[in-house]
Amino acid sequence: MATTEHGSHGPLSGVRVVELAGIGPGPFAAMLLADLGADVVRVDRPGGAGLGIDPAYDLTNRNKRSVLVDLKAEDGAARVLDLVERADILIEGYRPGVAERLGVGPDAALARNPRLVYGRMTGWGQDGPLAERAGHDIAYIALTGTLSMIGKPGEPPTVPANLVGDYAGGSLYLVVGVLAALQHARTPGGRGQVVDAAIVDGASHLAMMIHGMLAAGVWQDRRGSNLLDGGCPFYGTYETADGQYMAVGPLEQRFYEEFGRLLGIGDDAPDRSDIGRWEELRTVVADRFRTRTRAEWTEVFEGSDACVAPVLSLREAPHHPHLAARSTFVEHDGLTQPAPAPRFSATPVSVRRAPALPGADTAAVAADWGVPGIARPPEQDAG
């Protein structure tokens, strides 16, 4: 379904954000701010940021505008600082020291705009022994212990795409950080500051409950051995007759009783409270699920509180009746994509613009932000 423009673009309407182009968690954080109504101007560099896909399909650049600036040009930094002077937030994802060498580091930016919130997105953080090293999501979550929890015992850890590190431990913590800092900057006596968002910090923080359970002695420090990591036979996935999967999670006793009744295992199943018989119980449950297709089991559990759901693919998910009813996925300019989240009663949000194409909005930004110098074509820069 299509989205439409709202009179108010969301709760961050009026907030101005400068994003120094990069890949991964920085652009996603800027997209989230844009989804919530901020005017996000992405400063793209000639030649692109290196993601390797057609910019028209880079959904993390939706709801933004783009200008082209070569930061290595003689006046590149000055042109970006003209934007910074009029911004509330800046987001960059360079290695420590790179923004400073380019002339757009925190000192230069805050000198031009003392109330600026300068958001820095890295994997390792701005300091520490690994700060200067390259890395990607998998290394960050490996070091924090997060990766060690995911997968089956006796098998290599399962890689959870780059959701846990880049986006959960990185982007979301950066967004929380810059919005908290913006609130401070706008209070009487408040001022701008630097927000150091490191994926290793965020990914570690996400495991807070697990660390508490570990300290209490109710979590074993090995994967596939605990209540929530696949070790428990009533919290996991099971293959169906057609090679698809169902997700099972009836942790509470009353939900488990309904699950057992609908699955048809009844009193024949081993007592779920007997951990020593968990593998026996897992076999009983697995054997039952293999007797019907995913669609058939979905119908069996439909409308129940058994906490069972079909495991859908990325292409299937938008068509699920619940997600369709909530418009969890939307279509904009022919691209199906997750809708902005969360939702607001007074300041609704929407997908307003297709992914920003590099440099396509230079003239409009120059006029709206009052920075005519940004509109000079990049080919006139002296490299």
Q: Which residues are catalytic?
A: 136, 166
Give the DSSP per-residue string, 280-342. Answer: HHHHHHHHHHTTS-HHHHHHHHTT-SS-EEE---TTTGGGSHHHHHHT-EEEETTEEEEPPSS
The sign of the dihedral angle between the CA atoms of 74, 77, 80, 84 is negative
46-to-62, 70, 123, 203, 359 alpha-carbon distances in Å: 19, 6, 25, 33, 9
Provide CB contacts within 8 A for 179, sequence distance 6+. none
Q: Is 260 helix (H, G, I), strand (E, B) or coil?
A: helix
CA atoms 78, 63, 367, 86: torsion sign: negative
CA proximity to 259, closest of 310, 227, 307? 307
Rounded Cα distance between 182 and 32, Å, is 15
Structure tokens at 178: 């810059």
Calpha distance 352→35 (Å, rounded): 8
DSSP at 2: B
How are beta strands 64-68 and 39-44 bridged, if at all?
parallel
Which residue in the block uniquely carries the two structure tokens 């920085």?
A: 26
